[in-house]
Structure 1
Amino acid sequence: MQEYPNKKIGVSASEHLDSDAAHLASLGYESEFRRDMSPWANFSLGFTYLSPVVGVYTLFAYALAQGGPPMIWSLIICGLGQLLVALVFSEIVAQFPVAGGVYPWARRLWGRKFAWMTGWVYLIALFVTISSVVYGAGPFLAQILGFEISVNSTIVCAIVILILSTIINFLGTKVLAAAAVIGFSAELIGALVVGFWLLATERHHGLGVLFDSFGAGGGHNYFYAFAAAGLIGTFLYFGFEACGDVAEEVPNPGVLIPKAMRRTIYIGGAAAVFVSLALVLSVADIPAVISGKDVTPVDTLLTNAFGNVGAKIVLGIVLISFLSCAISLQAAASRLAYSYGRDDMIVGSRFLKKFSPARHIPPYSLLLAAIVPAIIVLGSKVSEDALTKIISFASFGIYIGFQMVVLAALRARLKGWKPSGKYQLGQWGLPVNIGALIYGIIAMVNMCWPRTPEAPWYDNYIVLISGVIVIGLGLLYMMIHRSYGHSDMPYDDAIPKKYVSPHKQAQ
């Protein structure tokens, strides 16, 4: 794996910016964004999107109940799998540092139709994920404010968090960067403090417990129980791509963004494993969690360890993590929508591509990334069950978007693509690409696998059905509107074109 920094010694910031602008111009774009995002802010954006505290606190009880303490190993397995994906993305963004992430990457690696569908699936998944994050944060805010947790209070608190996230994004790249760094700092410090305090005061088990399933899975093969518990790792490790979504806001993106992506996996994964380890070793009655007697082990544990006041402080840190995650998701979604609009690839492009010269942000794209999630959240007033079904698509859709890019990269390699950015995997490129695709397919199968035989078939296959519906609607849209053909921007240019002689051209 090689990184190729600028070979000139003492390269000034202005020279870097000129080089970045020239590189972008060679790809057919002139950016309106300002490159105000520092390397650590870029990493923080990915970290807060990945948000180990949000992921672990949300899914820990489920994972422990399904697979017992060995569920923690899924965090390491999934972390390694997604690291392969991050390495593939690093090569792509280094060569094509264009705002919007998966859509422009798929466009350059494969073509317009494939890119349109990649962006469509990923954009819908981002909207759904934003709504799921703010809705999940609603009860935490309600608890802190002393409200009774209900559908109405959760909706109100979720909308408040969404509005706050939107305001922060509207204030521009510098404020977004500062919010990401603050969110990262609060989340990491909170994770370390909570973890060490639990290990020091509430530890009930030794490390040997990590190999004891406590009978999880019943009489079935433990592999199935571990696969179900492993969803905590599957759902946790995405967010690193957000570093590339803002590629036009980072100086020297070909070097800095690949580093930020890898740091997101390393540091975010380490934080998630540490918090999970502290929680597992501190849960006094693990069999009670597995049997369903204790369905809120995290709340029980935090109250016992910190008291009511201390638990509220911890909940405050968790709430900051949720807010930071929503901010990062919204930033990613808005840049993707803007990228679509800039290439005239969707209805409403003339609004989505509008840019605020004062704030250096795409205002209408940001509004879209607020309005659609708000509508989804408000839908829970009609049916919480419907909201659950919609949200079930969130992670699956993100994985589909990821794997479409990974597949496009593999196809391009086999057709002769040689990554030419400042970050290259060299001879490891092909095996890493294949490994990333295999991991992604296994993860998606695991997400779709039916685990509730007693439920109606449409509930048992809801993740798969939701994916088919979103892709089906995208195909229908493509047939009716054909937006993918409206743009004359470059596409399919990663793959070298075969030489055609003048004689054959004349024929």
Structure 2
Amino acid sequence: MSTNSTGAEHSPIDEDAEQLARLGYTYETQFKREMSFWGNVSLGFTYLSPVVGVYTLFASSLGLGGPPMIWSFLIVGVGQFFVALVFGEIVSNYPVAGGIYPWARRLWGAKWGWMTGWVYLVALLTTIAGVAYGAGPFLDALIGVEATTGSTITCAILLILAATAVNFGGTKLLNRVAMLGLCCELGGALVVGIWLLVTARKHDLSVLFNSFGAGGGSNYFIAFAAAALIGIYQYYGFEACGDVAEEVPNPGVRIPKAMRMTIYIGGFAATFVCLCLILAVPDYAAVISGQNTDPVGTVLSGAFGEVGYRVVLGIVLISFLSCVMSLQAAASRLSYSMARDRMLPASHLLAQFQEKRHVPPYSLLLACVVPVLVILGSVVSPDALVVIVSFAALGIYLGFQLVVFAALRARLKGWKPAGQFQLGKWAVPVNVAALAWGVLGITNMIWPRTPDSPWYVNYLVLLSAVVVVGVGLLYLFAKKPYTHSDSPSADAIPGTPSVSAASASPSNNVENYL
């Protein structure tokens, strides 16, 4: 307990509410600060979901780069750690629900905040659809039916509905289920990995330096860069710790630590699972040549038998459910944060708050309905789902870098973070490293890799980004959402008054549109 100037005692919750009020957000209805530190870590971990990422992409990455593809986990982990440090300093300064949208708004302005929030929201909604759709084959294998488009769609929708039900239960239930997901996924990863090392290991660690002909004899760097997407698609989720900043006591201290802890635990789990699978694959040539298209299934069924394999599949499905649940929580807090600043269509609905559970019900429905519609679109055109979901990972990285760039700009203009977590003299070097890494990662994601395919296939990820950003810009210029609210913005730089969006006027100056 702390004491104010009059001698009255203040609880940590009171201090958190006062800090939120100083940041310009005082509401009669607020989130309940019922998420513990480990609940916050669990939310980031289950969003990152090493089991989902590794099991989904292991076959393609091993086929492209051979066993050395595992080193991408180390490279990407270091790069994303720099991003997590930058985010930790920002969230400590601005512990506001919605994560990167309010951060971008305060660091640069309402227009930059709109574009950042829009890109990230689309990425989250499509990621929910992609993760849920990817769970279908695992559920089919668990119940012993042949995987079809219909069964995959049904499984995906059921998974999204189950995750939505958990999120409607409120912060306390989300906290408990996220921690359960962490225990199941991390415990399952350790048990499965150790069992594979003890009973199914076929190789020693030397194979991690042998490509076994992957890349077709051409420049191996190109093959490794393509295989490294398993690492690039793995290391995000830590930002979800900041999306629920108004539900965590003492967020300026706890959330930066939770972000780093997510990187540590998630990175270890992902690398360990991948290592154990690599050492247990009997024939790398079969995977690289395409003869064995499901090395994960081959390894697990061989090591655990029919019954054990189904148990492992059950753990995998818990991981998928936890991942979708955490993604939904992040997406709903983001849309709520933007809606209470009247930045989105139907903001009057999306900003509503349910008193009983202390959750934004319509924002949660948005995070349910849109992914379901995306998945149902695959009935009409399977390629449509590929086009939409192709933006998911790129959009998240792009949203990250919009914040990282805004932070670097603000620092160079004199921003001095005042939160409880600060990088001090390392702030600018770390920020520059985070930006450089982000540009490198984005370049790798959009790089064309199928020269024999039509140009639009080669540039599908880039084209999807152009469409999303283009739609966001059209809405920005046509509807001017930055004029709908007087919430604080662009106030990070010393001497810059908080720009009231209601008093903002259109200008032809390019800087003003950013």
Flag the 1:217–1:497 CA change in 2: closer, same or farther, 3 A.
Answer: same
One of 5, 19, 22 as aligned partner of 2:18: 22
Cα deviation, residue 120, structure 1 = 0.3
Q: How far apart, in 2, do the equivalents of 1:47 and 1:132 lie?
A: 18
1:121 equivalent in structure 2: 119
Cα deviation, residue 454, structure 1 = 1.3
2:500 equivalent in structure 1: none
Structure 1: gaps spanning 5 or more residues: 500-507
One of 416, 419, 422 as aligned partner of 1:421: 419
2:53 equivalent in structure 1: 55
1:505 equivalent in structure 2: none
One of 164, 182, 185 as aligned partner of 1:184: 182
- 8 Å Cα contact 2:3-2:10 kept in structure 1: no
1:503 equivalent in structure 2: none
- 8 Å Cα contact 2:185-2:319 kept in structure 1: yes
- SS of match in other structure, 2:102: helix
Where in structure 2 are the equivalents of 1:150-299 lying within 5 Å?
150-299=148-297
Using the size of structure 2 for normalisation, the TM-score is: 0.94
- 8 Å Cα contact 2:136-2:152 kept in structure 1: yes
Q: How far apart, in 2, do the equivalents of 1:64 and 1:146 lie?
A: 26
Residue type at the aligned position of 2:294: T
Using the size of structure 1 for normalisation, the TM-score is: 0.95
Number of aligned residue pairs: give it.
Answer: 492
2:395 equivalent in structure 1: 397
Q: How far apart, in 1, do the equivalents of 2:441 and 2:450 lie?
A: 18
- 8 Å Cα contact 1:346-1:484 kept in structure 2: no
Residue type at the aligned position of 2:198: A
- 8 Å Cα contact 2:69-2:224 kept in structure 1: yes
Q: How far apart, in 2, do the equivalents of 1:424 and 1:498 lie?
A: 21
Q: How far apart, in 2, do the equivalents of 1:70 and 1:7 lie?
A: 57
Cα deviation, residue 146, structure 1 = 2.7
Q: How far apart, in 2, do the equivalents of 1:147 and 1:305 lie?
A: 21
Cα deviation, residue 139, structure 1 = 1.6
Residue type at the aligned position of 1:66: L
Where in structure 2 are the equivalents of 1:448-487 lying within 5 Å?
448-487=446-485
Q: How far apart, in 2, do the equivalents of 1:6 and 1:126 lie?
A: 39
Q: How far apart, in 1, do the equivalents of 2:385 and 2:9 lie?
A: 47
One of 101, 104, 114 as aligned partner of 1:103: 101
- 8 Å Cα contact 1:63-1:230 kept in structure 2: yes
Flag the 1:290–1:325 CA change in 2: closer, same or farther, 3 A.
Answer: same
Flag the 1:408–1:132 CA change in 2: closer, same or farther, 3 A.
Answer: same
1:504 equivalent in structure 2: none
- SS of match in other structure, 2:71: helix
Cα deviation, residue 386, structure 1 = 1.5
Cα deviation, residue 479, structure 1 = 1.6
- SS of match in other structure, 1:216: coil
Q: How far apart, in 1, do the equivalents of 2:304 and 2:284 lie?
A: 20
- 8 Å Cα contact 2:256-2:421 kept in structure 1: yes
**1:285-328 superposed Cα distances (whole Å, 9 cap, x missing partner):** 01111111111000001000001111111010000000000000
Cα deviation, residue 142, structure 1 = 2.1
Cα deviation, residue 14, structure 1 = 5.8
One of 339, 348, 351 as aligned partner of 2:349: 351
Q: How far apart, in 2, do the equivalents of 1:470 and 1:308 lie?
A: 44
- 8 Å Cα contact 2:119-2:395 kept in structure 1: yes
- What is the identity percentage for the equivalent residue pairs of Structure 1 and Structure 2? 63
Flag the 1:53–1:13 CA change in 2: closer, same or farther, 3 A.
Answer: farther
Q: How far apart, in 1, do the equivalents of 2:446 and 2:462 lie?
A: 5
2:511 equivalent in structure 1: none
Residue type at the aligned position of 1:137: A
